[in-house]
Amino acid sequence: MDIDFTVLLVPHCQSVSKDGWNQDHLVRPLAEAGRAQAQALVPAIGTGIDAVYSSPAVRCRETVGPLASAAGLAVHELPELYETQGFQDPGEWVAGVFAPMGQAVAGAWVAGRASGAVVRLSAAHPGGRVVVCSHGDVLPVLIALLAGAYGVPLPPLINRGGWWELRFAGGGLEIVVGQARSES
């Protein structure tokens, strides 16, 4: 991208465990600790943001909800940010001779889908600072794709309540890690 743009990639905060959850995972909420982590993002990231986008998953929307509210912004859903729950279509891409590459193909597909969303957001918010919340199977492959494309090292992994700030400027990319402090 040749446009100046900053995107904060926030993995959803600690959610209710998958173990024993018998409803649609789209509606699985944050745990108590996750709600505290989400609140801690507000002073850590601040309100100098232009837009907030999220996976449709409740746990993602709850992660960035307090931040959006403090900034007087709505949370906009982007289906491209939802976790994959497995890559199976088209099956021929992960079967037969391609079977050993199934995870790599799935990761490339997820990264491509998410990077397309980032490109569209950069066009919608040139020069802006945008928050995006997604999942642990989406953000790392997106960051790996972008780091590789821009020739920058992969950043450290983060804990819940953290984020990666991607600063696109002058045709380059800088990745900075942030971490909120919470009582939990």
Going by pLDDT thresholds of 50, 70 and 90, the confidence category of residue 87 is low
State both tokens at 173: 């990319």
pLDDT in tens, 100-131: 887 788 788 889 999 999 999 999 999 999 99
Tokens of 88: 């199976």
Q: How many residues does the chain have?
A: 184
Note the pLDDT of residue 184: 46
- H helices of 5-98, in order, are 32-45, 58-71
Q: CA-to-CA distance for 105 and 70, rounded, in angstroms?
A: 39
The structure's pTM equals 0.92
Q: Is pLDDT above 60 for 86?
A: no
What structural domains does the chain harbor?
5-179 (3.40.50.1240)
Question: How far apart, in whole angstroms, are the C-alpha atoms of residue 84 and residue 107?
Answer: 10
Structure tokens at 25: 């995972």
